[in-house]
Amino acid sequence: MENDLTLLGYIRRTLWYAGVLVLICGMLGCGQAAKDPAEASQKLLATKIWYIDQILVNDGITFKDGKMIQQFGGIDFDRYMETVQFKSNGDFEGLFKGDEKPMILHWQVGPTEVSIAAKDQKGGAWTIKPASVTSDSFSMSTQSTAYDYPRMTKIELIFKAKK
């Protein structure tokens, strides 16, 4: 009987501490997705360097854990941005694997999303939906026929902040 009370007390204390932790994370916004493009931009700027975590092509994982994953009949990438940075002046710097000089694009906050493209580019921009942005990760996606003409290819890059 005494062991049951001790176990019950332990479970209660554990649940109380877990509840407090959940409450604190909720108040601090731990892992919460951005609610709008303005909040997404704040979270993107708050991390100095973002590191590639995954590449998805047509919703299939082609890169994960630092390794390319061959997809039968799929599109393979030899070049991809290992790191990216969002600058407050609107520059987006992406460093391709093996390169020393970053590619400079432009990012801007729109009414429903954040977009990334060359300064004078009219179409083909990468988009970042606010719901995909947390303080720890974000994803950017695009669709294009350039990779497998004439078929449309959907590409999603998932980046993580290193702790």
Mean of pLDDT values over 48-53: 97
Token pair 């179409």 is at which residue? 123
CB 61 within 8 A of CB 154: no
Mean of pLDDT values over 106-113: 97
Does residue 31 come out as left (phi exceeding 0), alpha (psi in the -120 to 50 range) or beta? left
Name, in order, each residue with C-beta under 8 angstroms of 68's C-beta and a sequence gap of 6 or more: 62, 76, 77
* CA-CA-CA-CA dihedral for 37, 28, 83, 52, to nearest 10: -90
Q: And the tokens for 8? A: 């019950």
- pLDDT (tens digit per residue) in 115-141: 999 988 877 799 999 999 999 999 999
Task: Give the domain ranges of the chain.
Answer: 1-30, 37-161
The DSSP output letter for 24 is: H
Give dist(CA 53, CA 36) in Å, integer. 23
Mean of pLDDT values over 49-54: 97
Question: What is the per-residue pLDDT for 6?
Answer: 72
Which CATH entry fits the domain spanning 37-161: 2.60.40, 2.40.128, 2.50.20, 2.20.28? 2.40.128
Give dist(CA 86, CA 101) in Å, integer. 16
Does residue 75 come out as left (phi exceeding 0), alpha (psi in the -120 to 50 range) or beta? beta
- pLDDT (tens digit per residue) in 2-46: 555 676 655 566 555 554 444 444 444 457 999 999 999 999 999
- Biggest alpha carbon–alpha carbon distance for the chain: 75
